[in-house]
Amino acid sequence: MLGRVNHIAIAVPDLGSATATYRDVLGAKVSQPQAMPQHGVTVVFIELDNTKVELLEPLGEESPIRTFLGKNPSGGMHHICYEVADIAAARDQLKQAGLRVLGDGEPKLGAHGKPVLFLHPKDLAGTLVELEEV
């Protein structure tokens, strides 16, 4: 079911500063910031040869990243995203196996314009997992 790792997401308290570190100190190729109001975040993608790193900053007072940063003020790894060929089939198979899909269970468009779902971290060794259809 799982394909390759699409990205690893890191929540940051200051997107500009984190972006500058990756770009100017580490020499990485970075995208322009992209506001995602439906997810409550602004994102920047760090382009690597084998995957991407997604930097997440809270957007709005109800942002789930704001809660995460409240517990981890310096930021930290937020989730890992795996690719799947058919997100609806993956969701159904995982729900049948007893895993919990967050939200209403329906895919939403992610930062790449493709359907995504999140799985409860308590079902996956304490790790928030995002699935993205490719």
Give dist(CA 43, CA 12) in Å, integer. 10
Q: Contact at 8 Å (CB) between 82 and 2?
A: yes
Strand, helix or coil at 44? strand
**For residue 99, which phi and psi values (nearest 5 degrees)?**
-80, 150
- Secondary structure of 10-30 in the HEC alphabet? EECCCHHHHHHHHHHHCCCEE
Catalytic-residue membership of 130: yes
Q: Say which of 57, 130, 132, 133 is annotated catalytic.
A: 130
Cα distances from 81 to residues 6, 26, 69, 101, 123, in angstroms, run: 5, 23, 19, 14, 15
Q: Report the catalytic residues.
A: 130
